[in-house]
Structure 1
Amino acid sequence: MTDCGCEKAKAELEEYLHNELCGEDATDIRDHLAACDDCSYEHLVGKTLTEAVQRACTEIAPEDLRDQVLLRLRTIQSGH
Structure 2
Amino acid sequence: MSDCGCDKARADLEAFVRGEESFCQTAQAEIREHIENCPGCQNEATVARTLTDAVHRACSDEAAPDDLRLRVIASLRDVQAEPH
TM class by shorter-chain length?
Answer: 0.7 to 0.9
After superposition, where does 1:1-80 map in structure 2 within 5 Å?
Answer: 1-20=1-20, 21-60=23-62, 66-67=65-66, 70=67
Q: Report Cα offsets for 1:40-60 as digits up to 9, x if no partner.
A: 000000000000001001224
Instruction: Name which one, 1 or 2, has greater alpha-carbon Rg.
Output: 1
For the residue of structure 1 that corresponds to 2:2, the secondary structure is coil
Give me the TM-score of the superposition, normalised by structure 2: 0.71
Quick one: distance in 1 between partners of 2:13 and 2:31? Answer: 8
For the residue of structure 1 that corresponds to 2:35, the secondary structure is helix
The one-letter code matched in structure 2 to 1:32 is H
Give me the TM-score of the superposition, normalised by structure 1: 0.74
The one-letter code matched in structure 2 to 1:66 is P
5+ residue gaps in structure 1?
A: 75-80
5+ residue gaps in structure 2?
A: 72-84
Q: How many residues align?
A: 68
Give the share of equivalent positions with the same residue, in percent. 47
The one-letter code matched in structure 2 to 1:3 is D
Quick one: distance in 1 between partners of 2:5 and 2:65? Answer: 46
